[in-house]
Amino acid sequence: MKRKRKVFLVLLIAFVILITGGCSQKVKSDQITQLDRVETTEKKGTSAKKLEKINQIPDDGIITAAQMDTISGEDGQFQFSGKDQDKGITYVWTYEGKRIKNPVDQNLKVEFSDAKIEEVKKAGGNAPYGLAITLQKMNLAAPAALGLTLNEKWDADNAVLCKYVDGEARKVCDVVVGSVSGVGDKALTNLAFNVLEVGDTYYILAGKSKEDNEENKGAEEKTKNNGNNDQQSHEVDNPPTGNNQNDSEQAAETQSGQSSGENQNDQGSSHTCTISIECSTILNNWDDLNEAKADFVPSDGWILYTSEVEYSPGETVYDVLYRVCKDTSIQMSAKYTPAYGSYYVEGINQLYEFDCGELSGWMYSVNGWFPNYGCSQYEVSDGDIIEWRYTCDLGRDVGDQYYE
C-alpha cells in the first residue's frame, strides 16, 4: 500500500511540474523587457566539414542544413558558385553568416531558359534584353544576394527582376547591371540582385534608361508623353511593384562584400529603421473573424503606418516592436518559447493568432524577407524595413512564398 502511495505521489509531482513549469509562459506587453543575448539552443551534432568562404555548388544544388550550420552566426560573407553548362552562365550566391540563425537545406541550383521571354519582354515595356531564371523552392536560411555573369554583352544600364502573372510583368526588385571583359575582346554582362523570394520562374528584363545623344532623348520623351512604349527606345519601363524594398545600390554593395547597414553604423551615432503594422488581410476574410474582435480592425487595415524610429545597436525586431507599441499605446502580448530561444508574438491590438481562421496569426519580414527564426533573434541594422502583417493563410497572403 505504501509503495502504491509513493508511486502516486511521484506521478502527482511530475504532473504539477509539467503544468507549472513545462508550458510556455504568456507575457503581457507591460512585462516585456529587452532580451538578454543568451544562446539557449545547442548546436546540432554534425560531422559536416566547415564551409569555406568560397564554395562550389554540387550537381544537385543542395547545401545541407548541417553544412549551413557550420557558418551559422559567423562573421563575414560566404559564397556558393555554380554554372549552367548549356547557357554558359555562371552564378554566385552570397550569404552573411551572422544572419543564419536556423540552418536549413538550401537548394542553390539555378536554371535558365528563354521560355515565354518574348511575351514577358513585350509586357515589360518592350525590353530589348531578357532572361528566364528559375530559383528552386526552399526556405531561405538568410537573406541572400545572387550574382550572374552572362557569356554575352547586354547594351543596357537598367534592369529589373519580374514575375509574369496574368499577362503582366510584375516587378519584384531592381537588378544591378554592368559589363566586364572576358577572354580576349569578348565582353560579358554582370547582373546582381537581392533574393527576397524563391520557388518560381522569374524574368530579368534590361535596357537603356539613358541615350547617348539629345536626339534620342527627345524621341524618348515624346514616346513617354504619348503614353506609348516604343521598342526602339530600348528602355525598360518599371512594371508595377508589390515589393520593391531593396534597390540596386543595396544589391551592388552586398555583392561587393559591403552591407549598407554596416557602412551607416560606422558613420554616426544615430541608428534608424522603419516599422509598420497592418492587418488588411482580415478585411478580405471578414466572415472568418471572431465577432468580438471586429472593433479592433481599422477600416483601412493599418494599425501603425510606416514610421521611422531610432534603435540601439544590438536591439532586435522584437525590441523595436515592443518599444513602438508601448510608446503608441498599442496592445501587444507575447510568449517565450524555450525550444526556439525566442519570443513569439501572439497578439497585437487585441488581434491574436486564430482570431481569423485556423491559419491566421502575426508574421514579420525585414527588407522583404520572412526570417525562419523568431523576431527576438533578428538584430536590426540601419535602414531595415520591418513589417508586421497579419496573415489569414499561413503567410501566403502576405508574400511568404515558402508554403504551398
Q: Using an 8 Å Cβ cutoff, are 204 and 133 in contact?
A: yes
> Given this model, what pLDDT does residue 338 score?
84
Residue type at position 319:
D
Give me the architecture of the 261-398 domain, per CATH.
Beta Complex (2.170)
For residues 235 and 351, the model is more confident at 351
> Given this model, what pLDDT does residue 33 score?
42
pLDDT at 250 over 50: no
pLDDT at 211 over 60: no
Backbone angles phi, psi at 398, to 5 degrees: -120, 5
DSSP E strands, 216-328: 272-278, 302-310
Average pLDDT rounded to a whole number, residues 199-214: 79
> Given this model, what pLDDT does residue 40 score?
37
What is the spatial order of strands in the sheet that 351-352 belongs to? 26-28, 332-337, 342-348, 351-352
Listed by start position, the domains of the chain span: 54-258, 261-398
> Given this model, what pLDDT does residue 348 score?
98
Instruction: Output the average pLDDT for the chain.
Output: 81
Average pLDDT rounded to a whole number, residues 163-174: 93
> Residue 84 — pLDDT band, cuts 50, 70, 90?
very high
Of 195, 370, 380, 363, give the one whose Cα is nearest residue 279: 363
> Given this model, what pLDDT does residue 186 score?
80
> Given this model, what pLDDT does residue 224 score?
44
> Residue 144 — pLDDT band, cuts 50, 70, 90?
very high
Give the burial class of 45: count Cβ atoms within 10 A of its Cβ; 0-12 exposed, 13-18 middle, 19 or more buried.
exposed
Tens digits of residue pLDDT in 173-197: 999 998 777 766 788 999 999 998 8
Tens digits of residue pLDDT in 291-321: 999 999 999 999 999 999 999 999 999 999 9
> Given this model, what pLDDT does residue 220 score?
45
